[in-house]
Structure 1
Amino acid sequence: MPAPADLGIEVLSVPEGAPVELDLRLEAVMEGVLVTGTASAVLEGECVRCLEPIHDELEVRFQELFVYDDIRDSEGAEEDDEVSMLQDDLLDLETVLRDAVVLALPFQPLCQDDCPGLCPECGVRLIDEPDHTHEAAIDPRWAALTELKQDPTD
């Protein structure tokens, strides 16, 4: 199936319309239909430290009970918004899929586990230049002393 819009977080998500492969098992139970399955898709985003593109694959497992309409007649079930309902013998997996994917994504995705990020002063990618350094900054209160020259005869 094609991926719905906004399937992921701001920095890492499944592109809209990208193929999402679903492997589902539907079981009839007393209350409704129990859906158990896995979803696999391709992820695209960027590293939060160095802003390099990330291309990865994701596979998530999920399980949800979709309740029959006639079960909802009980007073307690009507007030519960967390219950997934069958709509005319159809079930909508988008919410279940979105919850499973978003919960499986890392909060801060990295291109690699030890990504050093960018230099805070000049923006150089530190993984490309591991020996990158800058001169130590001089405290502005002492900067005027750098203009003084010491006489070598003293």
Structure 2
Amino acid sequence: MTATAALVVDIVDLPHRIGATKDVCVEAGAPAGLGTAVIGVPEGSSLVVDARLTSLEDGVLARGRADVHVHGECVRCLRDLDEERTVTFDELYYLPEAARAAEDGEDVDDVLLVGEDSLDLEPALRDALVPALPFRPLCRPDCAGLCPECGRRVDNLPADHRHDHPDPRWSALAALLPDRDGSDDPADADGEEQA
């Protein structure tokens, strides 16, 4: 996954001394794909990240929070869902040599790495946000969803809303019933005049 330039922070001035810290604040547009197919942070929406970076023996600990706008759709009624969220993260970014030494059967690609002189906060933010999003977002727990016949929101329909669909096996008998315009004669329904 490519780094989002706005979420890459410079760590040149973070001393390599264990326990040394640096505070960073990043205001940027949200990267693409920060969420799931039904709910997430819209690409380009405002995103504020405050973090404290701490030098450790094996890398840099990034501990912080991000204020994000989350947009999605109720999976039952398709109503828009919008909310402001604060996401906290606590991730260790390994120095490349420390990651290789600690690999021990793990894929080194699965760990976060410190760059040459920078650190990308996007993976930490993504790892904290995406699992916290609802798998099936609802506008409310008892949402009634959509009418399967007309597709309108059940909550907006009258209590007696229904669709009458006669059983097709009785369709031959329907010809014997009075016409809906008030005529009682099946022959009149066909436009034929009786003698």
Q: TM-score range by the shorter chain?
A: 0.7 to 0.9
Deviation of 1:145 after TM superposition, in Å, equals 3.7
**Helix, strand or coil at the partner of 2:98:** helix
Structure 1 residue identity aligned to 2:91: E
TM-score (norm 1): 0.82
Deviation of 1:79 after TM superposition, in Å, equals 4.7
Q: Does residue 132 of structure 2 align to residue 116 of structure 1?
A: no
Q: Distance in 1 between matches of 2:62 and 2:102?
A: 25
- Residue 89 of structure 2 corresponds to 62
TM-score (norm 2): 0.67
In 2, are the aligned partners of 1:34 and 1:64 still within 8 Å (CA)?
yes
Deviations 1:96-153 (A, max 9, x none): 212222111111111222111110001121111251522453322233344556xxxx
- Give the % identical residues: 46
Work out which of the residue numbers 10, 13, 20 in structure 1 matches 2:47: 20
Q: Distance in 1 between matches of 2:113 and 2:142?
A: 44
Give the aligned length: 149
Mapping of residues 1-154 of structure 1, within 5 Å? 1-72=28-99, 74=101, 76=103, 79-148=107-176
Instruction: Mark the runs of 5 or more structure 2 residues left unpaired by the alignment.
Output: 1-27, 178-195
Q: Distance in 1 between matches of 2:90 and 2:143?
A: 35
Q: Distance in 2 between matches of 1:32 and 1:56?
A: 34
**Greater C-alpha radius of gyration:** 2
In 1, are the aligned partners of 2:99 and 2:111 still within 8 Å (CA)?
no
Instruction: Mark the runs of 5 or more structure 1 residues left unpaired by the alignment.
Output: 150-154
Superposed CA RMSD:
2.3
